[in-house]
Amino acid sequence: MRPSVSDILIYPIKSCRGISLESAVVEPRGLVRDRRFMLVDANGRFISQREQPRMALIEVSETGDSYRVEAPGQDALELPLDLESARECSVRVHRDTLDAKLADPGINRWFTRFMGRDCGLVYMAAHQHRAVRHASAAFDDEVSFADGAPLLLISEASLVDLNARLAEPVSMRRFRPNLVVTADTAFDEDGWDRIRVGEAEFDVAWQCSRCILTTVDPDTGERDEGGEPIATLKTFRRVNGLVMFGQNLLPRKLGRVRVGDEVEVLRRREA
């Protein structure tokens, strides 16, 4: 039986909670509205759950023409869907330095209060571009504020396999995928090279290396004391010293994807 899409997720603000969707449109830099916002420190460097696990508690929901942002101990914040007209600033995300749009002081104060440190919210406008830095990418591939690739895919079967090895199971939310798919076999996605999902097609470009962020409980914003699930993944998912879970996708045909769409494997990797 062919795999199919069981969930579609976007994360409007990088490292904050995601939104589950019934359908989404694939753009060159990923799903529409995925990781277009990001928190930065006073020097313009990105902030994530790696150093601020409490970001897992920031919830974002779409309310028509704006986002509603909520966090413990804070009044709800109304955030525009974009900041196209805001002033520009320079930001850094991993190895990249690029221009972004800076939110107004009121919005930045909201995040500063919750984070307990000076920070600002920035937005990637339509004309602002960030190249994909990977040998598998074409020269014109681009990405949002995501770590490295436009989309991430993980199969439910792979999570079931991992959870069978853990003392306490974890949810898919730990791994922050965009496309969750069914599959008959755990890690079958490792062998996919080109897939079609709904109207879109993707290169299954490279495995996703995982970090300490996956040890943050998305419900509590606290790290697992035993370093799980990374500790267990290290025992059977290490490649060249890196821990792999999930596949990074590069869009090759744009369009809409929907929950329930079949995942057609157009080409498999050579063994």
CATH number at residue 220: 2.40.33.20
Rounded Cα–Cα distance for residues 52 and 40 (Å): 12
Task: With a cut of 50, list the residues of the chain below it in pLDDT.
Answer: none
109 HSE (CA, 13 A, CB side): 4
- 176 in a domain, yes or no? yes
- 39 in a domain, yes or no? no
Q: Report the number of distinct structural domains present in the chain.
A: 1
Predicted confidence at residue 212, as pLDDT, reads 95
Predicted confidence at residue 270, as pLDDT, reads 81
- 247 in a domain, yes or no? yes
pTM, 2 dp: 0.97
Closest C-alpha to 24, from 36, 35, 8, 11: 8
Predicted confidence at residue 93, as pLDDT, reads 97
- 181 in a domain, yes or no? yes
Question: Phi and psi at residue 53, in whole multiples of 5°?
Answer: -60, -20
- 199 in a domain, yes or no? yes
- Residue-wise pLDDT tens digits, 184-228: 999 999 999 999 999 999 999 999 999 999 999 999 999 999 999
Predicted confidence at residue 64, as pLDDT, reads 87
- 233 in a domain, yes or no? yes
- 260 in a domain, yes or no? yes
- 245 in a domain, yes or no? yes
Closest C-alpha to 197, from 256, 250, 148: 256
Contact 134, 149 (CB under 8 A): yes
Predicted confidence at residue 92, as pLDDT, reads 97
Residue 206 lies in domain: 148-268
